[in-house]
Structure 1
Amino acid sequence: MEIIKDLTNEAYRAMDGLSASDIKAILANPYKFKQGIKRSASTAQNIGSAIHGLILEPENFERDFIIADFDRRTKSGKEASANAEASGKILLKPSEFETAQNVADSFKETEFFKEHFIKDFGEAESSYFCEFEGVKVKCRPDYFNLSKNIIIDLKTTSNDNGANPNEFLKAVANYGYYIQAKWYLNITGAKNFIFVALETSEPYCFAVYELDKSFIDLAEEKIGKALSIYKNLAYYSKEYKSEFGDGEPQILTAPAWLFYEK
């Protein structure tokens, strides 16, 4: 196990090792993963990154972010924007920074933050590297409370009532958060993994969640499948370009929830 502190996100992503995001990408489509297809971060994701920075690493915020509103309709605005992007920093509009600051300030006032985010007993954004089943792997916990042996992961949501249990449960399932939880537990050896759902609209509600055994068991199964696929990526050639299957028609069955909706 190798633990590196003070790595930038950019440096972490450049280092060898499968991440939890890679595992989800492999499961979604091995061919796209093999081709290295990446998606640009959305505005919501950039705001989420800023909230993480303000809560977890405020001392490094200027290192990782630029706050500006360039007019890309002008030549000077385009050049300034291009220079900002070339720096590797995340570009935020002043209004986006204000939102991130409000969410971070609100959360820092909570008893949960004061009890769990204790600098002398934990570490933020440390990078972990090791081998798992013969494959180089890595993870970067938002915050690892070493005294409690708990990983705390911040998830921002711009949805109305996104921190509500029913809404957050959908996010856990749809975005594969449960896979991330098991992946981090496997690599770090932490005892527990906790999600903090942070709403990005007033009054900036939050909620804290832990996943039950059914989620963790399912994640273990999916991780095993993803690693098996990864070890056989040579199979996923251009002939596999059809998203699922070999291009032959597949039968779709009406899901159970469609009937219950009636």
Structure 2
Amino acid sequence: MTAAAEAAPLVIERPGVYDDVPAEVYHADPVPGGSLSSSEARRLLPPSCPALFRHYKDHPEQRKTTKALDFGSAAHAVVLEGDETPIVAINAENYRTKAAQQQAKAARAAGKYPLLPDELETVRAMAAALKAHPLAAKLLEHGSAERSLFWADPETGVRRRARLDWHRERRGGRVIVPDYKTAVSAEPRAFGRAVREHGYHVQAPWYLDGLQALDLAGPDAAFVFIVQEKTAPYVVTVAELDADALALGQALGRRAIEIYQQCTETGRWPGYSGDIVHVSLPPWAADDLEAAHG
């Protein structure tokens, strides 16, 4: 094989389940002509807009990596796969020194996740705590991590994709799909707020659509979140969204697909509004009015 062939980018042209697709390749979108992921769909919807989505897709070099993203990616590798090879341990107490900053930059450039020693120990402790949780540990048995799904939307033909944290082997009965999230709080009400803030209610039906389109699950399949706190004792909560949340997420996902199709066909990616908009002050601004009148 020539060096050119070895360097040829991965291209996904057919629907299916793909293993060993590097995360950076999946997020860069290996589908000719483009495809839509759940996280990208959320960028098409308020409070974002198509113009911001298009800029995000066209300028991957501007996407910022944060310590939180490094930590979350490292936790996924260790908790789901027991694999520390993507992690680079930074020999420093913090990132205040130039040497530590350069080590972190070099690690990210190599596609790895830099962690300080205490962060690495935390990730290891989280993995141990999750394995000790009977339900969460069982949900992560008999399967494969980081499987990529590619399919065509039956209503619009829009190419869609999803990346499963964990794909459990189908052994009869109802298919349950677990998704791992790290969080400040795994308390159910707090996670409910995070669901709305981050659009996880769009993610759940999106992934179920992919499984059903590829005949990997029936209509009774369930999508559950394994939510784990990032501080000791690393509490774990297994959460499933209720019917109302899933219905809203499904509707929002459909709207994003329609916007994507329209924008792709017209070549126009508008901002928040093309017309004059009427803006109201937030409800608490009434206090300012009362203060103004003394």
Instruction: Place the TM-score, normalised by the shorter chain, in its bin.
Output: 0.7 to 0.9
Alpha-carbon separation, structure 1, partners of 2:103 and 2:207? 38
TM-score (norm 1): 0.84
CA RMSD after TM alignment: 2.4
Q: Name the amino acid aligned to 1:112.
A: L
Q: Establish whether residue 193 from structure 1 lines up as the match of residue 223 from structure 2.
A: yes
Unaligned runs of 5+ in 2: 1-14, 287-294
Instruction: Name the stretch that deviates more: 5-14 or 48-57.
Output: 5-14
Q: What does residue 276 of structure 2 align with? A: 248
Q: Does 1:43 align with 2:76?
A: no
Shift of 1:153: 0.6
Q: Which amino acid aligns with 2:55?
A: Q
* Residue 56 (structure 1) aligned with residue 86 (structure 2): no
Match of 1:68?
90
Corresponding residue of 1:108: 131
Whether the 8 Å contact between 2:204 and 2:223 is mirrored in structure 1 is yes
Q: Is the 8 A contact 1:157 1:199 kept in 2?
A: yes
Could you tell me the TM-score, scaled by structure 2's length?
0.76
The 3-state SS of whatever aligns with 1:125 is: strand
Partner of 1:29: 49
In 2: Cα distance, 1:79 partner to 1:165 partner: 39
Q: Is the 8 A contact 1:72 1:81 kept in 2?
A: no
Shift in alpha-carbon separation, 1:109–1:188, aligned structure 2, 3 A: same
**CA–CA distance in 2 between the matches of 1:65 and 1:229?**
38
Cα displacement (A) at 1:72: 6.8
Whether 1:135 and 2:166 are equivalent positions in the alignment is no
Q: Deviation per CA, 1:194-248, whole angstroms, max 9, x where unpaired?
A: 01110011111111111111111111211111111111222225xx3xxx22363
Match of 1:5 in 2: 19
Segments of structure 1 that go 5 or more residues without pairing to the other structure are none
Q: How many residues align?
A: 245
- 2: CA distance between counterparts of 1:198 and 1:101? 13
Task: Tell me the residue number matched to 1:18.
Answer: 36
Distance 1:210 1:173 in 2: 14
SS in 2 for 1:88: coil
Picking from 230, 236, 249, the partner of 2:269 is 236
The question of whether the paired residues in 2 share the 8 Å contact of 1:48 and 1:100 is answered with no
Q: Rg bigger for which structure?
A: 2
DSSP 3-state at the match of 1:198: strand
Q: For residues 101-144 of structure 1, what are the alpha-carbon distances to aligned partners after superposition, in whole Å with 9 as ceiling and x for unaligned?
A: 1111111111113422223xx22211111111311111111112
Secondary structure of the 2:21 match is: coil
Give the superposition deviation at 1:77.
5.2
Match of 2:74, as an amino acid?
Answer: A
- Quote the Cα distance in structure 2 between the aligned partners of 1:82 and 1:50: 16
CA distance in 1, matches of 2:121, 2:64: 22
Determine the structure 2 residue equivalent to 1:214. Answer: 244
1:117 alignment counterpart = 140
